[in-house]
Each structure stands twice: as C-alpha cells, then as structure tokens.
Amino acid sequence: MEKWFFELQEPGVKLGIEYEDKLLEVQTKYQKLEIYKTKRLGNLMVLDGCVMTTDEDEFFYHEMISHPSLYTHPNPEKVLIIGGGDGGTLREVLKHPVVKEAHLCEIDGEVIEAAKKYFPNLSISFKDPRTSIFVEDGFAFLDRQKEYYDVILVDSTDPVGEAAKLYEESFFKKIYNSLKSDGIFTIQAENYFYELSVMKSLYNNVKSIFNKAYFYFSPVITYPSGNWSFLMGTKKYHPIKDSDFNKYQIKTKYYNRNIHYASFALPEIVKGIVK
C-alpha cells in the first residue's frame, strides 16, 4: 500500500512525497516535528506540515545560504547561524578553513536531537571543535553579542508563528549591531513565484538598516516553486566585486565560482521590488 506525505504549498498546489515509514512525530514546545523515510529522497524533515530538508536535495539550500557570504567576506573568522538546527548550514560554514568560531543558535533543541539521530550527514558538523551550540531565542542571544561576528546567517522557517519576528526591522537592527564594521548577513527569502510581496517587505526592512542588500537565487527541488531566494545585507562588501575564489577551494555539489556570479542576476519580476 502506497503512503504519501503531502504539503499544501499554495492554494491549489500540493507537493507529494512517497514514504516507506514515519520515523518520528512529536509536538515540541514550538512546532510539530516529523521525520519520514522516503522512497526517493532519503529522510525528510517536516516542521508544522512544511518540508524543511531531505537527504537528497539539502545541498542546494545549505550551500547557497552559506558560501556566497563566506566568499564575499575577506576573512570570515567568526560566524553565527540563527536557526539551522539540522546542522546543514553549519556543515557548509565549517568547510572554510578561515572560520575559527561557528556559533549555532537554535530555539528548538528537539530539532537538533532529531538531526543527530536521523540526519548524520548534516549533524556531523555538531562535533567540530570550532562549533558552539546555543539552544535559545535568537533575539536575546544577539543582545549579548555586540560587534562580534563577521558573518551572520539566518536559516529560519517561513515567516509565520515564532519565526515571523525574524523578518522584522527590529531583528535586522540587532543583527547589524552584532556584526563587525565590515560584516555580512544572509537570510532565506522565500520565492518570487508565490511570495513576491514577502520578498518586497523583507528587502525594504533590510535596506532600511544595511547600506546594501542583494537578492540571489538557487533551485531547491522540494520547496514551493522549486526556486528559492536569499537576501544578503552588507555593511561594506559587494558580492560580485569583492568575492575571492583564489584564497582556497572547498568541495561542493552545486555551488562554484560561476554559480556565485550567476545567482545574483535578477529576474525582471524581482527588479521591480528593488528599485
């Protein structure tokens, strides 16, 4: 008998993934967490009914939220990840030999524990000696870290519920204050097919705090529309003019020099919201 997980991604649009077994279902303090063993995509993590990551396509998202900022900043020694409890973004950050400290601040400790058990290829990053994990709210955490980080990556869920405040102007002000004078931050920014209005609001909030803000894009197979957006805010550097691929090479499945440059090309529909 076939068993399917369905995510209602938009009214009238569902994603269906056939699975062999449900490995975990728990209501944490913050959200409903489910893990499935699928037939095609390996293990699947679902939060509040929405796909977060799968074994097979996770590299698109985790590489692209991480490396553009780390190759743009000339010396990203201290990096903070807000969210990212599955460990995938942390894994990519730690591929950069220049990183000396990688802090992960995740509000839901049960996500971290589930990743350790069901996503060993992601959670291997938790064992790195450069890693420090903080299970707490990102707002309060940032208040204690002033002008400390070179790069901050916001690897959050969609801007609803507890995560909604991570898309507000007040949050970006906290990020700005926690970055050094030449710091960079990146946040996942939804998709322009279904969520153009969310992207516009996000851009305006970031641009009101940071000197410069740049959208860039990547495929993520299981996310709504299959095309995902990220927004980089910088105090100083330009992601094309200042990126440096000569300092070292890392191993990736999707990201490379040419992908970096091409990902910042704006579709016409997005140009209209950044003018």
First-to-last alpha carbon distance for the chain, in angstroms, is 52
Q: Is the pLDDT of residue 210 over 70?
A: yes
Q: Which two tokens stand for residue 103?
A: 């802090």
Q: What is the CATH number of the domain that holds 34?
A: 2.30.140.10
Range of the domain at 138: 58-240+257-274
Would residue 244 show up in a list of annotated catalytic residues for this protein?
Answer: no
Is there a single domain that holds both residue 75 and residue 162? yes
Q: Select which of 155, 158, 182, 244 is catalytic.
A: 155
212 and 267 inside one domain: yes
DSSP letters, 220-274, are -TTSGGGEEEEEEEESS--TTTS--SSS-----SS--HHHHHHHTPPPHHHHHHH
Separation between Cα atoms, residue 67 and residue 11, nearest integer Å: 33
Residue 29 reports pLDDT greater than 70: yes
pLDDT at 159: 64
**Which residues touch 48 (CB under 8 Å, ≥6 apart)?**
31, 32, 157, 161
Predicted confidence (pLDDT) at residue 235 exceeds the cutoff of 70: yes
For residue range 36-79, list pLDDT tens digits in order.
999 999 999 999 999 999 999 999 999 999 999 999 999 999 99
Q: What are phi and psi of 146, to 5 degrees?
A: -105, 130
Please tell me the predicted confidence (pLDDT) of residue 211. 82
User: Quick one: 108 and 227 in the same domain?
Assistant: yes
Q: Give a yes or no: residue 224 inside a domain.
A: yes
**pLDDT tens readout for residues 121-144:** 999 999 999 999 999 999 889 999
Within this chain, do residues 71 and 86 fall inside the same structural domain, yes or no?
yes
Query: How many domains does the chain divide into?
Result: 2
User: pTM of the prediction?
Assistant: 0.96
Query: 152 phi and psi, to 5 degrees?
Result: -125, 130
What number is the average pLDDT over the span 166-178? 90
Question: What is the pLDDT at residue 167?
Answer: 76
